[in-house]
């Protein structure tokens, strides 16, 4: 499946893309068009973020620009430069679904989108705007506006339970996170014999997809076949993830289409929605309810921190006190950091890999029996999802550091200001288990919310 493409008519061979590709999947000579080796590409979109070869209306004329824009399926409202490296757009599929009265359009929006989408409308880098985001999605025409932060909380319930079971019952350790599809693809491509170390949990996006078409259909009294499920993601690889053949546990494709944060910006502009004048609104309940733990999934170390907040309760039966909820040892943006966290009588040894370029030495340690960890988080992009390939593209290279810093700060500020900061405290999470899933890692949740990987021999 083609998700990332380099337009050879536009590429000048500056090779900025080759410098940032964590999978070394881009080849070519300097000053000549580059080529993506699809078998190695993990579709993270960092090449899209860094590409500097472009055409514009001013420099190349309206006719050529319009031709390229139409070929990419972008709406006419798009006037910005078109870069050689780009992700394949699915905006037209979403527009068709929104216009189809027989479709019940349900949308979810990832944690990192709320700290970046406002940048598409001239707001300061890292502006936190969940209320305007929810309002914009309704004005676009989505019938139900939900939040991937809810399923991030759901992921923690499943993943935390799975980790405790592996630690206490002798399962495969260390367990690696599985919510970053580019990382999962990299491991499947390069060391498939190690996929048994991946958590069996689907990503939050792929958990909420089947929930839309089962529990969501039930609570909305809707025919599951009529539901058209859309995800708004900071990640270009999410489109690949939702197309994987095993992502059909609802009995149909669980997530129909993924749009990036950038593409949502195009969609909002297409409908001539004035971002500045939007009144803040809430996400729909119960699948729009979330805690601070769900919010911090958007930054590197956030999945680990969220898991520890709930894992502590799962292991000890007690709650972390308010002063202990911020798990500072797992925060940071260095390549690979380790921490030992006291969880009751257990010393939980964890690792956090930021940027996929730092993963191979860690995997070498694992192969050599030298990786002394229970749990390892891996994020492909430089600072986690806030720096994803589908986030707003910045035309000034110097702005990236500020954007990442501000998005991280806004994420942690959002977490800190929420009344509930642990996934197991989310009342809507309790509701979905009481009324539908029954228990974490139980029969129903394993069917809908867990998966298997290439090389893992059908799961573990």
- Grade residue 460 by pLDDT with cuts at 50, 70 and 90: very low
- CA neighbor of 258 nearest in space, from 129, 400, 97: 97
Q: Alpha helix locations (H) across 179-324?
A: 181-190, 204-211, 217-219, 238-243, 261-270, 292-295, 302-316
C-alpha 374/C-alpha 221 separation (Å) is 42
Rounded Cα–Cα distance for residues 321 and 244 (Å): 41
Q: Bin 45: left if φ > 0, else alpha if -120 < ψ < 50, else beta.
A: left
pLDDT at 222 over 80: yes
Query: Helices 302-316 and 148-169 meet at what angle, rounded to 10?
Result: 50
Check if the beta carbon of residue 313 is closer than 8 Å to that of residue 319.
yes
Q: Enumerate the active-site residues.
A: 159, 162, 179, 199, 238, 241, 246, 385
Q: Each residue of 96-147: pLDDT tens digit? A: 999 999 999 999 999 999 999 999 999 999 999 999 999 999 999 999 999 9
Whether 137 and 107 have beta carbons less than 8 Å apart is answered as: yes
C-alpha 346/C-alpha 206 separation (Å) is: 31
Query: How many residues are recorded in the chain?
Result: 460
Instruction: Say how far apart CA 183 and CA 192 lie, in whole Å.
Output: 12
Q: 264-286: per-residue pLDDT in tens?
A: 999 999 999 999 999 999 999 99
The token duo for 56 is 């514009």
Q: Which CATH class is domain 1-88?
A: alpha beta
pLDDT tier for residue 456 given thresholds of 50, 70 and 90: low
Per the rule left: phi > 0, alpha: psi between -120 and 50, beta: everything else, 411 is: alpha
How far, in Å, CA of 368 to CA of 330, rounded?
24
CB 376 within 8 A of CB 351: yes
d(CA 218, CA 369): 47
Give pLDDT tens digits for 344-354: 899 999 999 99
Where do we find the tokens 């030992």? 340
- Average pLDDT across the chain, whole number: 95
Range 214-229 average pLDDT: 97
Please list the residues that pair with 198 across neighbouring strands: 176
pLDDT grade for 459, boundaries at 50, 70 and 90: very low
Predicted pLDDT at 322: 86
pLDDT, tens only, 65-76? 999 999 999 999
The alpha carbon dihedral of 113, 88, 201, 178 has a sign of negative
Residue 244's alpha-carbon distances to 94, 188, 190, 274, in angstroms, are 19, 13, 18, 36
Mean pLDDT to the nearest integer, 353-378: 97
Q: State the span(s) of the chain assigned CATH 3.30.70.20.
A: 1-88
Give the closest residue to 199 by CA, choosing from 432, 454, 443, 453: 453
* Distance separating alpha carbons of residues 291 and 384, to the nearest angstrom: 19
Instruction: Show the DSSP H helices in 285-396 as ranges.
Output: 292-295, 302-316, 359-367
The CATH architecture of the domain made up of 145-449 is 3-Layer(aba) Sandwich (3.40)
Query: Quick one: pLDDT at residue 392?
Result: 97
Domain limits, CATH 3.40.950.10, in the chain: 145-449
Is-contact 73 90, C-beta < 8 A? yes
Closest residue by Cα to residue 388 from 300, 307, 288, 326: 300
Is-contact 238 264, C-beta < 8 A?
no
**What sign results for the dihedral spanned by CA atoms 279, 280, 286, 287?**
positive
The mean pLDDT of 371-390, rounded to a whole number, is 97
Crossing angle of helices 148-169 and 204-211, in 10° steps, is: 110
CA distances from residue 209 to 9, 202, 216, 451 in whole angstroms, order as listed:
37, 10, 9, 13
């Amino acid at each position: 499946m083609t998700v990332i493409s380099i337009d050879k008519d536009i590429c000048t061979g500056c090779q900025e893309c080759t410098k940032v590709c964590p999978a070394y999947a881009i080849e070519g000579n300097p000053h000549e068009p580059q080529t993506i080796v699809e078998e190695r590409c993990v579709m993270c979109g960092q090449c899209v973020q860094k590409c500097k070869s472009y055409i514009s209306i001013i420099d190349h004329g309206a006719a050529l620009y319009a031709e390229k824009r139409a070929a990419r399926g972008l709406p006419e409202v798009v006037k910005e430069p078109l870069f050689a490296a780009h992700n394949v757009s699915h905006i037209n599929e979403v527009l068709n679904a929104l216009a189809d009265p027989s479709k019940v359009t349900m949308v979810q929006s990832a944690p990192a989108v709320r700290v970046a989408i406002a940048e598409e409308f001239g707001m300061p880098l890292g502006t936190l705007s969940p209320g305007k985001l929810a309002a914009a999605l309704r004005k676009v025409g989505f019938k139900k506006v939900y939040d991937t932060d809810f399923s991030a909380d759901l992921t923690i319930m499943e993943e935390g339970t799975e980790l405790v079971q592996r630690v206490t019952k002798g399962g495969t350790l260390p367990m690696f996170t599985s919510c970053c599809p580019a990382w999962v693809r990299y491991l499947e491509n390069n060391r498939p014999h190690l996929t048994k170390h991946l958590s069996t949990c689907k990503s939050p996006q792929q958990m909420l997809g089947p929930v839309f078409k089962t529990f969501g259909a039930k609570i909305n009294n809707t025919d599951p076949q009529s539901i058209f499920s859309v995800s708004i993601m900071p990640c270009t690889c999410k489109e690949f993830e939702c197309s994987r053949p095993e992502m059909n546990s609802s009995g149909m494709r669980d997530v129909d289409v993924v749009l990036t944060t950038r593409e949502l910006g195009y969609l909002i502009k297409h409908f001539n929605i004035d971002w500045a004048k939007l009144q803040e609104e809430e996400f729909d309940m119960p699948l729009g309810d979330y805690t601070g733990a769900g919010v911090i999934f958007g930054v590197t170390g956030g999945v680990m921190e969220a898991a520890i907040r709930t894992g502590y309760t799962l292991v000890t039966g007690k709650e972390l006190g308010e002063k202990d909820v911020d798990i500072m040892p797992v925060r940071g943006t260095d390549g690979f950091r380790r921490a030992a966290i006291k969880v009751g009588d257990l010393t939980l040894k964890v690792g956090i890999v930021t940027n996929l370029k730092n993963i191979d030495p860690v995997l070498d340690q694992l192969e050599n029996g030298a990786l002394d960890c229970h749990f390892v988080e891996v994020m492909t992009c430089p600072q986690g999802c806030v720096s994803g390939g589908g986030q707003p593209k910045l035309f000034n290279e110097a702005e990236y550091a500020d954007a990442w810093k501000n998005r991280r700060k806004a994420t942690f500020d959002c977490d800190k200001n929420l009344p509930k900061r642990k996934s197991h405290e989310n009342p809507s999470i309790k509701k979905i288990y009481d009324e539908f899933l029954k228990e974490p890692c139980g029969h129903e949740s394993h069917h809908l919310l867990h998966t298997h990987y290439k090389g893992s021999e059908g799961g573990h």
